[in-house]
Amino acid sequence: MCNGALFVFLLTLFLPKFLLAECPEHKIEMNDEERLFNALKCKFKDEYRPVKDYTIPVRVKLRFDLKYIHFDTTKDTISVHSWVVYNWKDEFLSWNASDYSGIKEMQVKSYDIWSPRMMLMNPDATYYNYDKIYTICVLAYDGIVTCVPRTVYKATCQSQLTNWPYDEQSCTIYLGSWMNKEEQVNLTFYENDPIILDDFQTAPGWKLLKVVHYRVPELIFNLRSIDIPECEEGTHG
């Protein structure tokens, strides 16, 4: 048993030396981008909010680039396809560009760093939506992170077809974070162009009349008091 233990010890001791011998030029050939990434990598933490003073909320700005909305009257569901722009500052991930040949931006994986969680919070939400962002983000030298995940939010929206084919339908989706209060993560809209409809495709049968957006402070706690249109008796099968 003693011999066995000794054998393992020797193996681990010599392994790194052996590996180094295989690629001796590795250190020399590291370019500035890799050097910067390695310096930042040590500061990556995905669990903790990226603020030096923990009493300060992380301000997350949101923009919805709406691509497609599908309203299914037979299933009473609305699917909202969009690219959501998330933008916030990670106070731990900044660098001095002149130390790295002027590199001002890096690509990072959203799940390597802290990222805000936001999910569909409609009271009748039955479809599972991811709340964590999985995408590649742009990190700027001043710590500003921008992620643009494609998202589909699918929610129930009771159809009210009374004036076919001239009906107007209003659907509401509530987005928020279960885990964080406004004092921790403050979700806000971009001041300019919070909703973009440039590439919006209309689904067959329906025309988008308008999109209204509100910021509801403390959404979780307010949801209970928001009026959700009641179903008329008999409209539920």
Least distance to ligand NAG, CB of residue 39, Å: 14
C-beta closer to ligand NAG: residue 177 or 186: 186
Least distance to ligand NAG, CB of residue 170, Å: 25
Q: Report CA Rg, the chain.
A: 25
C-beta closer to ligand NAG: residue 57 or 194: 57
Least distance to ligand NAG, CB of residue 97, Å: 8
CA 62 – CA 185 distance, rounded (Å): 12
User: Where on the chain is the footprint of ligand NAG (CB under 6 A)?
Assistant: 57, 96, 98-99, 182-183, 186, 188
C-beta closer to ligand NAG: residue 115 or 186: 186
CA 43 – CA 224 distance, rounded (Å): 40
Percent of residues in the chain assigned helix, strand, coil, to nearest 5: 20, 25, 55
Least distance to ligand NAG, CB of residue 83, Å: 22
- From 128, 127, 116, select the one nearest 178 (Cα to Cα): 116
CA 31 – CA 132 distance, rounded (Å): 32
| Number of Cα atoms under 13 Å in the Cβ half of residue 108 | 31
Least distance to ligand NAG, CB of residue 188, Å: 5
